[in-house]
């Protein structure tokens, strides 16, 4: 990976480096992403793509029929996803419910990218799912898809730092938003949860960004990425990089494991670019 792309920080990268620096290394230095796809992640990515294509069409041609825009978005978003027919059916239902709910809002932008400079050439990047307006107030639109844990998503999103990171970065770039409209979508419908940011939460987001920057700079300067053993195995999952962290593993073993289990994908591909 180029030095410039290593210096782009964002929420997912921060989560990885705090969870386990070795996981951060495999993902951001070696470009490794697991070949086996998580169907829940695939479903969410598919719904996001359908929304982005449909909303981008509506923004560029607001007088066009929204049902036609959605139909075209469905057609253009079929490739590259690894989902069973059942998961794909659920994803289509979720996209339809989310699209219907979004029609009550004026959409100013879809997948809006913001970036703030830090120090030493580092930047923090955030891509908002959408910027919405209703009743003269502007909001971040955030899309969440779930099979059955809508109540848990609400709780985690109110107590977690993620929505406030995006709002803080947007505000630093001159886009002041009142808060987040979180669209929690299941195969049965879509609920909208409102999250208002306070000054304390903006300060929390600022500290998180600069603490992450300090930690990443330290790790990169030392060239040392320690393994957090408590992150290797969790209640319902195993770290996908665990096989590469086996002590005294031979170089040949690691090379074979990489070839069998991982693709090399730049983390900035999420933003539609390669650093």
Whether 1 has a pLDDT exceeding 90, the answer reads: no
User: What does 107-174 look like in DSSP terms, one character per residue?
Assistant: EEEEEEEEEEE-STT-EEEEEEEEEEEETTEEEEEEEEE-SS-HHHHHHHHHHSSHHHHHHHHHHHTT
Handedness of CA 30, 163, 166, 58 (dihedral sign): positive
Residue 100, SS3?
helix
Tell me the per-residue pLDDT of 89-136, one tens digit each, with 9 for 90 and over. Answer: 999 999 999 999 999 999 999 999 999 999 999 999 999 999 999 999
**Whether the predicted pLDDT of 148 surpasses 80:** no
Pairing relationship of beta strands 137-145 and 179-186 according to DSSP bridges = parallel
- The per-residue pLDDT for range 241-254, each reduced to its tens digit, is 999 998 878 888 88
pTM of the model: 0.90
Contact 24, 13 (CB under 8 A): yes
Structure tokens at 135: 């009743």
Statement: residue 208 has pLDDT above 60: yes
CA angle (110, 209, 35) in 5-degree steps:
65
Q: Report how far Cα 235 is from the mean position of its chain's Cα atoms.
A: 22
The vertex-133 CA angle with 131 and 137, nearest 5°, equals 115
Burial of 137 (0-12, 13-18, 19+ CB in 10 A): exposed
In this structure, are residues 213 and 118 in contact, taking their beta carbons and an 8 Å threshold? yes
């Amino acid at each position: 990976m180029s030095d410039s792309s290593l210096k782009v920080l964002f929420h997912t990268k921060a989560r990885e480096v705090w969870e386990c620096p070795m996981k951060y290394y495999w993902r951001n230095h070696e470009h490794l992403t697991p070949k086996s796809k998580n169907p829940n992640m695939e479903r969410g990515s598919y719904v996001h793509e359908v929304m982005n294509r449909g909303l981008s069409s509506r923004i560029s041609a607001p007088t066009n029929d929204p049902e036609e825009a959605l139909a075209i978005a469905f057609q253009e978003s079929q490739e590259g996803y690894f989902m069973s027919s059942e998961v794909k059916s659920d994803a289509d239902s979720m996209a339809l419910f989310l699209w219907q709910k979004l029609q009550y809002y004026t959409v100013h932008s879809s997948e809006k990218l913001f970036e703030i400079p830090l120090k030493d050439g580092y930047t923090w990047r955030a891509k908002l799912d959408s910027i919405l307006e209703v009743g003269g107030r502007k909001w971040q639109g955030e899309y969440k898809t779930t099979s059955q844990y809508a109540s848990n998503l609400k709780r985690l999103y109110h107590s977690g730092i993620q929505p406030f990171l995006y709002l803080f970065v947007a505000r630093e770039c001159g886009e002041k938003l009142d808060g987040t409209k979180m669209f929690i979508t299941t195969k049965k419908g879509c609920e909208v949860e409102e999250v208002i940011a306070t000054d304390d939460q903006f300060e929390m987001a600022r500290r998180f960004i600069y603490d992450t920057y300090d930690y990443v700079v330290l790790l990169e300067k030392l060239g040392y990425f320690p393994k957090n053993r408590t992150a290797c195995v969790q209640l319902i999952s195993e770290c996908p990089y665990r096989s590469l962290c086996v002590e005294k593993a031979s170089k040949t073993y690691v090379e074979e494991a990489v070839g069998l289990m991982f693709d090399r994908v730049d983390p900035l591909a999420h933003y539609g670019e390669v650093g």
